[in-house]
Amino acid sequence: MDSTYQERLKSAFARAVEWHAGQDRKGTGIPYVSHLMAVSAIVMENGGGPDEVIAALLHDAVEDAGGRPTLEKIRSEFGQQVADIVEGCTDAYTTPKPPWRERKEAYIAHVATASASVRLVSASDKLHNARATLTDYCRVGPAHWKAFRGGRDGSLWYYRSLVEAFSQVDRTSLVEQLDEVVTALEAEVRKQEGVD
């Protein structure tokens, strides 16, 4: 890792900490920045370059910390490529966000035309979310769904639809991992709740 990359990465991490200060993962009390760190690690472990790793750290900033003005700050500070990846991972620019199902259907449709960089960061994001959901569901059980706008049925639909959308474009090992975790989550829900 060259010194320029190191400096950009440190700057992106500082921005992620700043923009997500006080935010926690749904229903857990775990600082939100842990998710951003995990997603950037998954991107790095799956061959992501500097812009993709930096975008992974910042991928939720537009949705959760300021909308389009934050996207412009990302463009100014980290460049067009990082901003394009973050924009490609964003499903809302306003607060309150548009209706959940409408946003998710649009995001699923967008996967087919997204760049390889956007798909890498997005699949890494969804993989970490699915792993966390499985872990929390095994710990808490059906009460876990109360923290999610889509509830159990919407969440399971969204994860499975994403697996299918990513698979139609490129069935990478990352997408295979996502499929395995989603399949395990579906099996755990059947075991605990007796639903398909």
Q: Given 64, 87, 105, 188, which residue is catalytic?
A: 64
**Cβ atoms 36, 59 nearer than 8 A:** yes
**Cβ atoms 166, 175 nearer than 8 A:** yes
Through-space distance between the first and last CA atoms of the chain, rounded to whole angstroms: 46
Nearest to 132, CA basis, from 86, 181, 165: 181
Q: Given 51, 52, 60, 63, which residue is catalytic?
A: 63
Catalytic status, residue 64: yes
Q: What DSSP assignment string belongs to 74-110?
A: HHHHH-HHHHHHHHHT----SSSPPPHHHHHHHHHHH
**Cβ atoms 169, 163 nearer than 8 A:** no
Which tokens hold the place of 26? Answer: 């749904």
Catalytic status, residue 188: no
Three-class DSSP category at 159:
helix
Residues involved in catalysis: 63-64
